[in-house]
Amino acid sequence: MVPPEVESRVAPPLVNCPECDSMLPQGLGEIECLLCGAVCRVSHAPTVAALKEEKVQCPHCMTVVEAGTDKRPADLTCAACSKIFTLTRKIVKVEIECPSCESNLRIRPRPGKRELTCPGCQSSFFVTF
Ligand SMILES: [Zn+2]
Ligand SMILES: [Zn+2]
Ligand SMILES: [Zn+2]
C-alpha cells in the first residue's frame, strides 16, 4: 500500500545560477544547473530550520507530527497511530502575466525556456526562468 502524501508548506527559495543567471532546479545542497552544467551550492539556513521544525497533520489520525528532517520527500511515522505517510516537497508556483490580455497565470517554474498558452485569450508566448 502506498502511504498517503502530505504536501510540505516549506519550500527552498528559488535561486538563479551565478554563471548563466537561469533558474536552478529547486532544492538545497549541490544543485546542477540544467542549462550550463555549473554545480552550485545552495544553502539557506532558515529554510533548513523551517523544514526540520515543520509540523504536519497525520492523515490517518490527525495528530500533529514534527517532520524532524529537511529531506523532502520524507517518510514519517506517526507517533500516535504508528502509520506511515510521506511528506512531499512543496510545489512552488509563480505568477506570470499574459502579455496579450494581462491575466495572471499560475505555473510551476522549470529551468529554461518554454512556451505557454494563455487559457484566457489562447495566445502563446515564451517564458524563460
Ligand atoms: Zn547555469
Ligand atoms: Zn497518526
Ligand atoms: Zn491572455
Q: Tens digit of pLDDT for each residue in 58-77? A: 999 999 999 999 999 999 99
At 85, list the grid cell. Answer: 505517510
Asked if residue 115 and residue 75 are part of one domain, the reply reads no
pLDDT for the residue 93:
87
pLDDT at 12 over 90: no
Distance in angstroms (rounded) separating the CA atoms of residues 43 and 29: 6
Let me know: does 23 contact 129? Beta carbons within 8 Å: yes
| Residues contacting residue 21 through CB under 8 Å, at least 6 positions apart | none
Asked if residue 98 and residue 82 are part of one domain, the reply reads no
Asked if residue 75 and residue 111 are part of one domain, the reply reads no
Asked if residue 19 and residue 51 are part of one domain, the reply reads yes
Does the predicted TM-score (pTM) go above 0.85?
A: no
Asked if residue 99 and residue 67 are part of one domain, the reply reads no
Asked if residue 59 and residue 24 are part of one domain, the reply reads yes
Distance in angstroms (rounded) separating the CA atoms of residues 98 and 110: 17
The pLDDT tens digits of the residues spanning 83-120 come to 999 999 998 888 999 999 999 999 988 888 899 999 99
Asked if residue 116 and residue 60 are part of one domain, the reply reads no
Asked if residue 55 and residue 117 are part of one domain, the reply reads no
Q: Give the mean model confidence (pLDDT) for residues 48-65.
A: 96
CA of 66 to the centre of ligand 1 (A): 35
pLDDT for the residue 14:
85
List the shell of residues around ion ligand 2, using CB closer than 5 Å: 58, 60-61, 63, 78, 80-81
Its domain, for residue 101, covers: 94-128
Asked if residue 61 and residue 45 are part of one domain, the reply reads yes
Asked if residue 119 and residue 78 are part of one domain, the reply reads no
CA of 72 to the centre of ligand 2 (A): 19
Asked if residue 68 and residue 108 are part of one domain, the reply reads no
In the chain, the number of structural domains is 2
The pLDDT tens digits of the residues spanning 16-45 come to 999 999 899 888 889 999 999 999 999 999
List the shell of residues around ion ligand 3, using CB closer than 5 Å: 98, 100-101, 118, 120-121
pLDDT at 1 over 80: no
pLDDT for the residue 129:
80
pLDDT at 6 over 90: yes
Let me know: does 102 contact 96? Beta carbons within 8 Å: no
